[in-house]
Amino acid sequence: MNELPPIRGTLTQDRPLADLTWLRVGGPADWLFQPADREDLALFLRNLVPEVPIFVMGVGSNLIVRDGGIRGVVIRLGRGFNGIEIADGLVHAGAAALDMHVAKRAAEAGLDLTFLRTIPGTIGGAVRMNAGCYGSYVADHLVEAEVVTRQGESLVLAVSDLRLAYRSSALPEGWVLTRATFRAESGDPEALSARMEEQLARRDASQPTRERSAGSTFRNPAGFSSTGQADDVHDLKAWKLIEGAGLRGYSLGGAQMSEKHPNFLINTGGATAAELEDLGELVRARVREASGHELAWEVVRVGER
């Protein structure tokens, strides 16, 4: 790392990561790099030894960093990547822009990206995971995404290049999303704002939004998120399978499956990353025994135990 050229961002050695995640657990990164802008990021990656692993994190909203921390470099995008611009019916958002801010800015301009309002995290994570709710997904609106490759090359990818699917994309490991462009239908700003307020109320009524959680813990075996419509079925929703296995409110140390929404893994105050992950694995095993269905993690787990 000492052979790197000068950077304009911040590079910190042995940086604890717990305070950068919503679950507030995890050990340190060998190095945490916060680039000043895309050029700074590209220069850093271009000159980084290829053998050094990197991990890109946003605001840590769907992340368990294991207690042993992360080897290599963690890249966290900040102010140089959170701009939001709206022109000609398109919304251009930096990867570090919060989903909720993008939804609100778009609504003010009369563009409907309201589904983003209740999704925790940043645009970079939303694109990488094809985030969605209420029957809408990033894939329905994304036009293109700007990335910096592991070799430091800047590219623009069409939405088809990303092969977006339920909670997944084909973005290669080590590539960093820096900006995304969305197309949205027009709508009345007041009506769009009212819809987002209704969605927030529904979310707060059904999810433990005041607890330390990382959002939905497991993907729905049904292969799609809740639509919020009257005909939405729950038989193959992760929460229903967890409840059917008798695990609503089940706890292990400081980790607990929420009483309010059993697909939310929460830190009740003193959980370790190991307790959170072990409880998740226990849930997967019990659901497999009770229903025969295999739950896949939606929360990303990284680092060493």
pLDDT tens for each residue of 143-196: 999 999 999 999 999 999 999 999 999 999 899 999 999 999 999 999 999 999
Nearest to 271 by CA among 17, 67, 15: 67
- Cβ-count burial of 131 within 10 angstroms (0-12 exposed, 13-18 middle, 19+ buried)? buried
Residue of 193, 203, 298, 301 marked active site: 298
Q: Mean pLDDT of all residues in the chain? A: 94
216 is catalytic: yes
Going by C-alpha positions, the residue among 60, 57, 55, 59 that lies closest to residue 70 is 55
Separation between Cα atoms, residue 279 and residue 268, nearest integer Å: 13
- pLDDT truncated to tens, each residue of the chain (305 aa)? 666 667 999 999 999 999 999 999 999 999 999 999 999 999 999 999 999 999 999 999 999 999 999 999 999 999 999 999 999 999 999 999 999 999 999 999 999 999 999 999 999 999 999 999 888 999 999 999 999 999 999 999 999 999 999 999 999 989 999 999 999 999 999 999 999 999 999 999 999 999 999 999 999 997 766 655 554 555 689 999 999 999 999 999 999 999 999 999 999 999 999 999 999 999 999 999 999 999 999 999 999 99
> Residue 235 has what pLDDT?
64
In the chain, the DSSP E strands lie at: 10-16, 28-34, 54-57, 63-65, 70-76, 84-87, 90-94, 132-133, 136-137, 142-148, 154-158, 176-183, 212-216, 251-252, 255-257, 264-267, 300-302
Catalytic status, residue 305: no
Are 41 and 124 in contact, with CB atoms under 8 Å apart? no
How far apart are alpha carbons 124 and 77 in whole angstroms? 9
Asked if 97 and 91 touch (Cβ cutoff 8 Å), the reply is no
Catalytic residue chosen out of the listed positions 66, 167, 284, 286: 167
> What pLDDT score was predicted for residue 236?
84
Residue 294 annotated to the active site: no
260: CB partners within 8 A, 6+ apart: 206, 207, 208
Amino acid at the residue 202: R
* Bridge partners, 57 (sequence order): 76
pLDDT digits (tens, 9 = 90+) for 185-231: 999 999 999 999 999 999 999 999 999 999 999 999 977 666 555 54
Give the separation between CA 92 and CA 5, rounded to whole angstroms: 31
Per-position b or e across 238-254, b if 16+ CB within 10 A of its CB: bbbbbbbbebbebebeb
Contact present, 109 and 87 (Cβ < 8 Å): no
DSSP code of 231?
A: T
Residues 6+ apart with CB under 8 A from 61: 21, 22, 120, 121, 122, 125, 214, 215
Question: How many CB atoms sit inside 10 A of residue 285's CB?
Answer: 12
> The pTM is what?
0.92
Query: CA geometry: angle at 59 spanning 56 and 61, to 5°?
Result: 105
Of the residues 136, 216, 225, 226, only one is catalytic, namely 216
pLDDT (0 to 100) of residue 259: 97
